[in-house]
Structure 1
């Protein structure tokens, strides 16, 4: 299997999870829909490209591990949308206006609790099942020269280095992750053991994790779950 290796290294990362009211938790490992959004952003797609995003999510296979142990950070945010400079409009990263459409969420003070992973380093192996567009070559080219600035889960979570490590042939994404040496993490703490998440069809784990990390891109909601294997990983030194 042809795989791409990505390294997620940032002061803050967020992998999304089931949101309840104004509480936004994060999964322990990256979510498939989050990776699809990241890759779609690199390709220059947006939320109107629902068919392409849905097709990519259906084909994407991934495994992930932590090379540096992250710390959970919960950020408490408030925003007063009634202030003069917050009224009526905002600006997108593409330099275009983003006008509000009214409703109860367009005024007043809004609190949020958002979980992030701080100071961690994660390595991710991705592959594509079946044929179609985009190809792995197209994803590799987009990660080398992204169409837009990339972020890891949320717009403030900017990577500290280019995401793409390289390419590797392996029996699967778990095997590709095992063959990729651990990142140089400096003074940060190395997990012991190295914990990883991978598709159930690529080997049994110590436990299983059912995650609601599939997105209905047309309806713009998360819908559907998938079970992954989770356990220690023997990594090449």
Structure 2
């Protein structure tokens, strides 16, 4: 098997989980839909490329580990829609004035409801000051292939981010030896040297939190469990939808 080795290093990373009320919770590891979006963004695809996005998501398989464990950070957001600069946000909809709305991907959006002029509170969860290694494979022989993704991540069509748009990478995403081979993704991930905070190779033995495909079970050098994660997306309808099983635990280097 061949895999592309990524080094995810950023002041903040956000691996979106199931949102509950105003809390934007996160998963310990990136989801399949997140990696799909990351690769598609680098390739220059658009949200309207539904078929390609859905097909890419179905081909992605990966294993990941925390070389440097992160700290959880909760970002407290408030938006007061009653401020003078926001006045008319709801009313202008009736007048047909597009300047009164928020836009997403060029389409004007409006917020209806009685609380439209109130203060909206959100808690955005992030991982701070961590560094992660990811071994990413593409199943099948369709396009894009691993070399296409390698070139795209080296020279992305658009700026890349790790979860939320404010989560900008602190270093290039590709490992200095980006394409590696092994019997499976767990073996490839385990063969990649562990880095410290400064990108230096660590030679002493240690334990790292990791995830890998559930069908690999518990390989030698791993301890953990199989759990169900909700990390898939219905790209044509732009909705989180679907789940799968993932192995999570500790990898001993």
TM-score, normalised to structure 1, is 0.89
The 5 Å alignment of 1:106-121 reads: 108-121=118-131
Determine if contact 1:89/1:100 at 8 Å carries over to the other structure.
yes
Structure 1 residues 32 and 106: alpha-carbon distance in aligned structure 2, compared to 1, 3 A threshold: farther
Range that drifts further, 101-110 or 168-177: 101-110
The question of 1:167 aligning with 2:203 is answered: no
CA distance in 2: counterparts of 1:108 and 1:151, whole angstroms: 31
The correspondence for 2:193, drawn from 171, 181, 188, is: 181
User: Does 2:109 align with 1:100?
Assistant: yes
Describe the superposition over 1:185-207 as per-residue Cα deviations: whole angstroms up to 9, x where unpaired.
Answer: 149xx995212100012232421
**Counterpart-to-counterpart distance in 1, 2:76 and 2:137:** 36
DSSP-derived class of the 1:147 partner: coil
Write out aligned runs for 1:32-47 (5 A). Answer: 32-47=32-47
Unaligned 5+ segments in structure 2 are 90-99
* 1:149 partnered with 2:163: no
Q: Tell me, which stretches of 5 or more residues in structure 1 are unaligned?
A: none
- In the TM superposition, residue 157 of structure 1 has moved relative to its aligned partner by 0.3
Moved over 6 A (4+): none
Alignment of 1:218-233 (within 5 A): 218-233=236-251
Partner of 1:79: 79
- TM-score between the two structures when normalised by the length of structure 2: 0.83
Deviation at 1:106, TM superposition (A): 6.7
SS at match of 2:47: coil
Q: Which has the larger radius of gyration?
A: 2
Structure 1 counterpart of 2:10:
10
Partner Cα separation in structure 2 for residue 99 and residue 107 of structure 1? 18
Q: Deviations over 1:54-88 (max 9, x none)?
A: 10110100001000010011111011244454552
Sort the Cα spacing of 1:80 and 1:3 in 2 relative to 1 into closer, same or farther, 3 A.
same
Q: Whole-Å Cα distance in 2 between the matches of residues 208 and 65 of structure 1? A: 16
C-alpha separation between the residues in 2 aligned to 1:172 and 1:178?
A: 10
Q: Would you say the 8 A contact 1:89–1:97 is kept in 2? A: no
Richer in strand (by share): 2
> For structure 1, which segment, 201-210 or 123-132, has the greater mean C-alpha deviation from structure 2 after superposition?
201-210
Cα distance in 1 for partners of 2:85, 2:23 equals 26
- The answer to whether the 8 A contact 1:6-1:123 is kept is yes
